[in-house]
Amino acid sequence: MSILSLVRSRIFIALLVLGVALVVAAACGDDDDGDEAPAAGETPINAAGDTPAATTVDVGLEEFAVNPAQDIADAGTLTFSVSNDGAIPHNFLVIRTDLASDALPTADAQVDEGQVDVVAFIPEYGAGDTEDVSVDLEPGSYVLICNVAGHYDSGMRAGFTVE
Ligand SMILES: [Cu+2]
């Protein structure tokens, strides 16, 4: 083997090693892109491939109180997941109002639903069950109540703010 061909073969091997290194580096780069969590600005996708799940607000009903786990939420689609933690049937209403939670107009021992803006409703359901209702809420003041006769006056009401 001549000196010239020896030099050429060493250059060839050096270029070959460099090329392999570049391919490996590129492959690692692709791998990182595929496995990382979505970068800022990207929309996370849930397991079903749908749009992100709505914000859920857990609420408990009991004799006689409405107990939201949070009393404030961001505007948008909210799902109220309402568990009847009491011993008797209750229902659930979301009312848009600037009135205080204990100042809604009543008639016949119930909030007069004809005089308020009811934006979400779960019909009366039994103790131990949980029912959901989803609603798109604008920023503002709301009151969460049970409107079974007598229950609002007995204390089943809670203020809720959307901002
Ligand atoms: Cu009730």
What pTM, to 2 d.p., does this model score? 0.69
Mean pLDDT across the stretch 113-141?
A: 98
pLDDT over 90 at 118, yes or no: yes
The tokens of 28 are what?
């690692």
Report the DSSP beta bridge partners of residue 77: 136
At 11 the pLDDT is: 47
| Pairing between β-strand 157-162 and β-strand 72-73 as defined by DSSP bridges | parallel
pLDDT at 117 > cutoff 80: yes
Distance 143 CA to ligand 1 centre (A): 14
Residue 145 CA to ligand 1 centre (angstroms)? 8
Ligand 1 centre to CA of 156 (Å) is: 6
- Cα separation, 120 vs 84, whole angstroms: 17
Mean pLDDT of 35-53: 49
CA distance 151 to 4: 99
Find the 70 Cα to ligand 1 centroid distance in Å.
Answer: 19
Q: Tell whether the torsion through CA atoms of 81, 85, 88 and 92 is positive or negative.
A: negative
What's the mean pLDDT when you consider all of the chain? 82
